[in-house]
Amino acid sequence: MAFNKDFSTYFLTQPEEEDFQVSYTGNEDGFTCSHCNTSYEKDLQLAAELGKTLLERNKELETSLKQHQNVLEDQAQEIEYLTKQTTALREVNDSRLRIYEQLEVSIQDLERNNQRLLFDHTNDKKTIKTQLATIESLENRCDELQLTVNELSVELEKEKRRQQTLQSAGNRKPSVSQQSQDEEVCMLLKELQEMKAQRTRDLRKITDLEDNIANVIQENATLEQRLTAVAEREQDLKHMQEELSTLEDIRQGHLCRRCLRIADDNRSLLGDDDEDCASLIESLMSEADHRYILEQLQQSLASTNEDNPYRILVQKYEELVRAQRKIQNPSGEGVGGSGGQPLSLQEELEMSGIGTQTSTNSGPNSGSLGYHDSGPLSLQGSNGPLSLQDELDLSQ
């Protein structure tokens, strides 16, 4: 701009040479040199028009430069937002991977317990079968003994009648055979009672085994439910990994708009996970984030000229951060606000006098990208939060 002003005023402030004199004459040309009779009026008019044209062109270039600077600021803020979102999603993915590993360990333990329970269940079935066979044999033995007891009872009655008849006939002593028969009957009755007690004990064992089988079946059902829950968590983890890979492709620009619309539809199905990720993103305004932003800006501005306004902005930001550290933490501790919390980028920009910068577009889907008073960096439209496709359209 200074060059154009010097160029436009060159001909107006050019000193006259000693050997030449310019004088007004009465011809149509106006200024005429008395030495060589050369007219300079047309040259002066051309120089003035050229200076005016250059000034207008300079103003147009300044306006275009401001527009490009606004666009670059919006793109830088959008890159910062996407970088933080990717970092948050990576942290969520790492936590879910750790949970997945823990679930795999628990699945292995449950499988071992399930195999052990199945083995115990098989052994219990075999034991039940043997006990049932023993019970059947004991029942048969009891029936046989009962028949024997009945027969012996009948014979005992007959013997009693015979003895009564013998006693009525005389006072003779009972025979030895009668005593032996009575002893045999007593032994058989005692054996019968023992068999009945054994049968009762076997029935109790059968009841206990049936209860154990019911408990094993219930434990198997709970293990199946746990395995189903683990499979569902594995499916959720796969969805999260697909979403992270999609976001990585979006960040690197490897997806077309149609694929981005499909990814946006898939993200709408996982709204709850996105809300969790958004809550994590809002908590990422720390000192490490400020350092990362400064490094990215310094790398992007390393190849530009010294008059770049972004370089001046970065220098002002660094000076502001250092001054804030000295004011709030003179003892040498970390940068922080009230309560030991680090200042956000929005607060530091407001303290530096930069303020909130937004870029608006015409149309129903017009959005703004920047730091707002209500929170950290976000993409918003006139009708609410923008979708992933709208954000990428704005960035393009």
Which residue in 41, 33, 36, 34 sits closest to 11, CA to CA? 41
175 shares a domain with 111:
yes
- The reply to whether 228 falls in a domain is yes
Report if residue 50 sits inside a domain: no
**pLDDT tens digits, one per residue of 63-91:** 999 999 999 999 999 999 999 999 999 99
Q: Please give the tally of structural domains in the chain.
A: 3
The answer on pLDDT for 62 being more than 60 is: yes
Convert the pLDDT of each residue in 245-294 to its tens digit.
Answer: 777 776 666 555 556 566 556 555 555 554 554 444 444 444 445 555 55
Regarding whether 165 and 94 lie in a shared domain, the answer is yes
Q: Are residues 294 and 212 in the same domain?
A: no
Q: In what order do the strands lie in the sheet with 375-381?
A: 367-372, 375-381, 384-385
Pairing outcome for strands 375-381 and 367-372: antiparallel
| Residue span of the structural domain in which 124 resides | 79-284
DSSP 353: T
In a domain, 65, yes or no: no
Q: Are residues 280 and 291 in the same domain?
A: no
Q: Is residue 323 domain-resident?
A: yes
Task: Note whether 296 and 251 are same-domain residues.
Answer: no
pLDDT digits (tens, 9 = 90+) for 108-166: 999 999 999 999 999 998 999 888 888 888 888 888 888 888 888 888 888 888 877 77
Q: In the listed set 284, 306, 335, which residue is the last one of a domain according to the structure? A: 284
Choosing from 234, 250, 284, the residue where a domain stops is 284
Q: Is residue 269 part of a domain?
A: yes
- Please tell me whether residues 160 and 302 are part of one structural domain: no
- How far is Cα 193 from Cα 66, in angstroms, rounded to an integer? 110
The verdict on 184 and 298 lying in the same domain is no
Max intra-chain CA distance, the chain: 197
254 and 299 part of one domain: no
209 and 332 share one domain = no
The reply to whether 100 and 203 lie within a common domain is yes
Task: Classify residue 58: in a domain, yes or no.
Answer: no
The pTM is what? 0.27
Phi, psi of 384 (to 5 degrees): 125, -170
Does residue 331 register a pLDDT over 80? no
The reply to whether 94 falls in a domain is yes
Q: Does 274 lie in the same domain as 292?
A: no
Q: Are 255 and 267 in contact (CB under 8 A)?
A: no
Cα–Cα distance between 220 and 94 in angstroms, integer? 32
Same domain as 112, residue 258: yes
Among residues 242, 265, 284, the one where a domain terminates is 284
Q: What is the CATH number of the domain that holds 99?
A: 1.10.287
Question: How confident is residue 385, by pLDDT bands cut at 50, 70 and 90?
Answer: very low
Instruction: Answer for the pair 7, 51: CB distance below 8 angstroms, yes or no.
Output: yes
Domain presence at residue 49: no
Helical segments of the chain, H only: 2-8, 41-169, 176-252, 257-269, 271-282, 287-300, 309-328, 345-351, 388-395
